[in-house]
Structure formats: C-alpha cells, structure tokens
Amino acid sequence: MMNLKPSFGRKLKTDGLSPLHLALQNQHYETVRQLISFDKELIRVKGRESFTALHYVALRNDRVRLAKFLCACPAAIEDRTIRGETAMHIAVKRLNSEASEVLLGWMRRTHRRQILNWMDNEGNTALHIAVSTLQPQACYLSILWFSL
C-alpha cells in the first residue's frame, strides 16, 4: 500500500491518528518497523494535539522504540505539541524515568542540550517540572542544565 500511495502514511483518521500512531497504540510493532523503514519522517507526523510518534513512546515510557525512533529520525527530538511540550517535557511530566534517561543521553551525545532550556506554553522547562514533582532525575537534569 505504501508503495502505491505513500501519502497514506501521513493521512490522519478523523480522531487525529496516523497509521504509525495506530500501530503503536495497538502494539503492532512489526507494522511500526515496516512503516519506519519505508519513511523515517513518519515519526514526525503530527497527530491530535500535535503529538508525534516520538511523543507517544515518551508518554508510554517505551525506551526501546524511543531509542529506535531517535536513531531513525534525530530531528524528531525538536518536535513540540500544541502545548509547546517536547518529548522530554512529556516524559518528565509522566514520571517516566526510563524515557527521560534515553532522551537525556541522546541530547548529550548529539549536542542538543539546549532543548532542556525550551519552555512549554506555561513557561516551564523540563527541569522546572522535574524539580516541582520531586523526581530523582532532577539532579541529573540540573547538572546538564548548568553545564550548558
């Protein structure tokens, strides 16, 4: 299907979900793999509330797919939701320590630490959220924050 009509991979259903979002939601990981192998930019397709597949796996604390998505489409780390949230904001808000660790490691290795300075629509960085929710990784975030 993707060979005949590649635009179908970016088409959203009426509920605001792309085929990749649906495959993730239904845990059809072979379909996810095939979609990504066909077009890595599908990771950046914005669904309902501008959630991308990377936001979704950060929300679900799915460190395996998070790492795979970042390797496949590094620019996806810069995508934001309609509330200005990055995948890091989402992981920290949901207390998803595994996803936070993957994202922090990725930002450090790819020299994209400035993303930690990005504020959501409420004026909060990921560090603000981590500290306000008393998360243990807040110390690690603050070390990265002040070493910029």
CATH number for the domain spanning 138: value is: 1.25.40.20
Q: Per-residue pLDDT tens for 4-13?
A: 556 666 778 7
- The C-alpha atoms of residue 148 and residue 134 are separated, in whole angstroms, by 22
Q: Tokens in use for 50?
A: 């501008």
Structure-token pair, residue 111: 């020299």
Give the pLDDT score at 76.
96
Kindly report the pTM of this predicted structure: 0.86
Report the pLDDT value the prediction gives residue 9, as an integer from 0 to 100.
63
Count how many domains the chain has.
Answer: 1
Residue 59 lies in a domain: yes
Burial class of 114 by CB neighbour count within 10 A (0 to 12, 13 to 18, 19+) = exposed
Those residues of the chain that have pLDDT short of 70 are 1-9, 135-148
d(CA 103, CA 61): 11
Alpha helices for the chain (secondary structure H): 19-25, 29-38, 53-59, 63-72, 87-93, 97-109, 126-132, 137-146
Q: Within a domain: residue 1?
A: no
In a domain, 14, yes or no: yes
CA 115, CA 102: separation in Å to the nearest integer? Answer: 14
Q: Structural domain of residue 140, as residue ranges?
A: 6-146
Residue that has been written with the tokens 């990377």 in this structure: 54
Q: Which two tokens stand for residue 120?
A: 């959501």
Domain assignment present for 73:
yes
How confident is the model at residue 116, as a pLDDT?
A: 86
pLDDT tens string 57-78: 999 999 999 999 999 999 999 9
Of 35, 16, 46, 124, which Cα lies nearest the Cα of 54? 46
pLDDT at residue 14, rounded to an integer: 81
